Chains A and B, each alone.
Chain A
């Protein structure tokens, strides 16, 4: 019986011109979004490869100069584009993709794609994720708002129930049939997605486990759309008319997709405020000068360091030391600054991650928030992935500065601030090779979001069964 109902719903949905039109539009949008994103990802990867090569050439061919000057000459490192950004760009447009590595200073990623975007950006990105997160629920609403309320109004519900159909079988059959109709719609999209992903070469951006990530993403989207479907059917079963069912569902859609993301963002900022960029920079600079506790000026610490070094080597003057003391001071100053950076950036990033957690758990009230969290984590475009890259870039900066400072210490004359280094030294610095976080990292990041989505899916079905128990004809 359930299969009969499912089959009928499936056929009825596809015979409905409204559904066919809406499905066609969404299908086209999804296809265009995926193919355009693939092109963008490929382009970004080509540009990144070219920029990385050029940057390396610049570094190696900078000519002869003081190693400390080379530290200020600096290098750029570029964040690789995650293959699954084809589906979900996540934070990528807002967090920057290039970090300038230089002596003394930990810079944040710059060159945000969003800065180059037109005013159209305020309407959001056309991505496969956005289509599935925002438009697919609208399609479900269109498909389901009248499925039970409408049958009640038309009188077919009375006819169906009079045949001894259990209301629970009826709603399960409808859910399966309508789910099947939507699934049929998504199948070609899955094909386009697989094609798009399979054409992106390279492993350096986590391509190794892209298929696993994609499978889990698909599960998350199925949970989300399944929950929306069951909620829509429950509302349709309980609403007195199909018009009121549509009104309730549109309010739910607007709340879930328009209101909730803004409210959750404000809530997280209110609960865990983050400093403005200028304030943050000022605080970091102050801590570098005054020490983390604010009572330990840098100059005094360096004086103390000088005293201890002279004591250690039994010398009275730094010029008597067997190495260039300036180089050692540079190393020590970097070590002290790094402590400050670790503390402040750790605190800031920890807070940003905590904000993300607040948003994810706010998904208990609006499932889209949890889906976004799971989707971006699996796509490798969430904040934890960005942090992973930033940490790797900073590690490289420290290594790069250390190599230069050690050269200054060991290969320049004691007491001299100058000295000249060349290509031999520049080659000692290995190119930046970034390996994105392992699959486990993405899974762990996506777990809270997926857990909340599971709760929504269960709640949706419970609501549906509850509504089935109250299903009555006119």
Chain B
């Protein structure tokens, strides 16, 4: 579903992502770990088509992102660290707008139902989002993924700044989405959530994948130690 082949991106001659090859199948949650500057966000930007690769390619459900950006994006949902919404609109109005941009017009009842599925009840859904917490914004982001029936979900530090309860709730929604066949790529620093949620974990170092483990392989491993070892610490 999500695939990169020898994906390379350089900035001022220096590789931010170097020959990165990944394959994330439908229903799989792939956690991409790595320190700041290791290339996690660059990888997501390459998958979104916001950056053009210098070498290699990125594909979403078979669509080459560089060559057919719009159609690749149509199969994606993207939830950044901070889901940004239009403050003068309510949650349901934001969802209405974004889902129509994603090519899926839905009526108000459906939208409220999607928000409820994402954990946002009707009362706050009808309020202006300027009053929303980060967790509530993330829920609108999840509802958007549900609304657009995205085949793949790209998450950039989705649980950063969330309190444990909100983070737990978010993980449950994520697993539900994966259970529905959505391929998930989650760039994160949160080792705990990565271990809890991911089917596979990759460790990125200086733009290269230095480790790629299944959940089963990590079952009895101290992930923190493994992570630090990969970083040479």
Which A residues contact B (CB, under 8 angstroms)?
1, 4-5, 8, 11-12, 15-16, 154-156, 158-166, 472-473
14 A-B pairs (CB sep. < 8 Å): A4-B100, A5-B101, A12-B88, A155-B84, A156-B86, A158-B50, A159-B85, A161-B50, A162-B48, A162-B76, A163-B98, A164-B72, A164-B76, A472-B50
B71 touches A4 (CB 8 A): no
CA distance A379 to B71 in the complex (A): 52
Binary flags per residue of B70-104, CB closer than 8 Å to A gives 1, else 0: 11111011101011111011000000011011110
Tell me, rounded to whole Å, the shortest Cβ–Cβ distance linking B91 to chain A. Answer: 14
CA distance A156 to B78 in the complex (A): 12
B138 at interface by CB-CB < 8 Å: no
B70 touches A166 (CB 8 A): yes
Q: For A4, give the chain B residue with the smallest CB separation.
A: B100
A1 touches B100 (CB 8 A): yes
B71 touches A159 (CB 8 A): no
A163 touches B101 (CB 8 A): yes
Binary flags per residue of B185-217, CB closer than 8 Å to A gives 1, else 0: 000000000000000000000000000000000
B148 at interface by CB-CB < 8 Å: yes
B103 touches A156 (CB 8 A): no
Category for how many chain B residues contact A:
20 to 34
B86 touches A163 (CB 8 A): no
Residue in A15, A161, A163, A473 whose Cβ sees the most chain B Cβ within 10 Å: A163
Tell me, rounded to whole Å, the shortest Cβ–Cβ distance linking A156 to chain B. Answer: 5
Binary flags per residue of B52-74, CB closer than 8 Å to A gives 1, else 0: 00000000000000000011111
Tell me, rounded to whole Å, the shortest Cβ–Cβ distance linking B44 to chain A. Answer: 10
Q: For B71, give the chain A residue with the smallest CB separation.
A: A164
A12 and B86 in contact, given A4-B100, A161-B50 (Cβ under 8 angstroms): yes
A163 touches B102 (CB 8 A): yes
CA distance A4 to B70 in the complex (A): 17
A4 touches B88 (CB 8 A): no
Residue from A1, A16, A472 in contact with B88 in the complex, judged by beta carbons closer than 8 Å: A16
Extra inter-chain contacts (12) besides given A155-B80, A163-B103, CB under 8 Å: A4-B97, A4-B100, A4-B101, A154-B84, A155-B84, A158-B84, A159-B78, A161-B50, A163-B74, A164-B71, A164-B102, A473-B50
CA distance A473 to B48 in the complex (A): 11
Residue in A159, A161, A165, A166 whose Cβ sees the most chain B Cβ within 10 Å: A159
CA distance A369 to B200 in the complex (A): 65
Residue in B50, B74, B84, B102 whose Cβ sees the most chain A Cβ within 10 Å: B84
Q: For B47, give the chain A residue with the smallest CB separation.
A: A162
Q: For A1, give the chain B residue with the smallest CB separation.
A: B101
A162 and B73 in contact, given A156-B86, A473-B50 (Cβ under 8 angstroms): yes
B 133-173 contacts with A by CB, 8 A: 148, 154
Residue in B50, B74, B97 whose Cβ sees the most chain A Cβ within 10 Å: B97
Tell me, rounded to whole Å, the shortest Cβ–Cβ distance linking A181 to chain B. Answer: 13
A164 touches B86 (CB 8 A): no
Note all chain B residues with C-beta closer than 8 A to A166. Answer: 70
A161 touches B73 (CB 8 A): yes
Note all chain B residues with C-beta closer than 8 A to A159. Answer: 78, 80, 83-85, 98
A164 touches B97 (CB 8 A): no
Note all chain B residues with C-beta closer than 8 A to A473. Answer: 50
CA distance A12 to B88 in the complex (A): 7
Note all chain B residues with C-beta closer than 8 A to A8. Answer: 86, 89, 97
Note all chain A residues with C-beta closer than 8 A to B50. Answer: 158, 161, 472-473
Residue in A12, A154, A161, A164 whose Cβ sees the most chain B Cβ within 10 Å: A164
Q: For B98, give the chain A residue with the smallest CB separation.
A: A163
Q: Ordered nearest first, which 8 A-B pairs have the shortest CB separation? A: A164-B73, A155-B84, A164-B74, A162-B78, A4-B100, A15-B88, A163-B102, A163-B101
Tell me, rounded to whole Å, the shortest Cβ–Cβ distance linking A427 to chain B. Answer: 73
Note all chain A residues with C-beta closer than 8 A to B101. Answer: 1, 4-5, 160, 163-165
Note all chain B residues with C-beta closer than 8 A to A11. Answer: 89
CA distance A400 to B71 in the complex (A): 81
CA distance A160 to B85 in the complex (A): 10
Tell me, rounded to whole Å, the shortest Cβ–Cβ distance linking B211 to chain A. Answer: 28
B70 touches A164 (CB 8 A): yes
Residue from A160, A162, A164 in contact with B103 in the complex, judged by beta carbons closer than 8 Å: A164
Tell me, rounded to whole Å, the shortest Cβ–Cβ distance linking B145 to chain A. Answer: 11
A163 and B88 in contact, given A1-B100, A1-B101, A4-B101 (Cβ under 8 angstroms): no
B148 touches A163 (CB 8 A): yes
CA distance A456 to B77 in the complex (A): 39
Tell me, rounded to whole Å, the shortest Cβ–Cβ distance linking B150 to chain A. Answer: 9
A163 touches B73 (CB 8 A): yes
B84 touches A156 (CB 8 A): yes
Q: For B85, give the chain A residue with the smallest CB separation.
A: A156
Tell me, rounded to whole Å, the shortest Cβ–Cβ distance linking B94 to chain A. Answer: 9
CA distance A166 to B50 in the complex (A): 12
Residue in B71, B78, B86, B105 whose Cβ sees the most chain A Cβ within 10 Å: B86
Q: For B156, give the chain A residue with the smallest CB separation.
A: A158
Note all chain A residues with C-beta closer than 8 A to B89. Answer: 8, 11-12, 15
